[in-house]
């Protein structure tokens, strides 16, 4: 999935365990935990170089192997800064 364009996509409840998302464009994508309580799983996902600007996130589970420079995952939310 490296380099994939996923801008604005609804990726709720998607399992990205171990996925290589290097250089993927996720700007404006939705990585939200739906009402049913099923969360997006980023366990081991490789996100270095991914474009996350404008991503909507909450309830993310798992720890990615890395994130783009300047990004952190705090309490299930991707944050820039």
Each domain of the chain, given as residue ranges in start order, spans 1-81
Q: Report pLDDT for 79.
A: 92
Instruction: Estimate the share of the chain in helix, then strand, then coil, as percent rounded to the nearest 5.
Output: 0, 25, 75
pLDDT averaged over the chain?
Answer: 80
Residues 14-59 have pLDDT tens digits of: 777 777 777 778 777 777 655 545 677 888 888 888 888 888 888 8
Count how many Cα atoms sit within 13 Å of the Cα of residue 44 in the half-sphere of its side chain: 4
pLDDT at residue 74 tops 90: yes
Topology of domain 1-81, CATH:
Pectate Lyase C-like (2.160.20)
What DSSP character marks residue 61? B
């Amino acid at each position: 999935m490296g380099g994939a364009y996923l801008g604005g996509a609804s990726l709720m409840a998607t399992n990205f365990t171990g996925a290589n998302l290097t250089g993927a464009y996720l700007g404006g994508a939705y990585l939200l935990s739906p009402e049913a309580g099923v969360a997006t799983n980023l366990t081991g996902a490789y996100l270095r170089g991914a474009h996350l600007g404008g991503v909507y996130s909450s309830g993310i589970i798992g720890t990615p192997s890395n994130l783009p420079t300047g990004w952190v995952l705090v309490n299930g939310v991707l944050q820039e800064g």
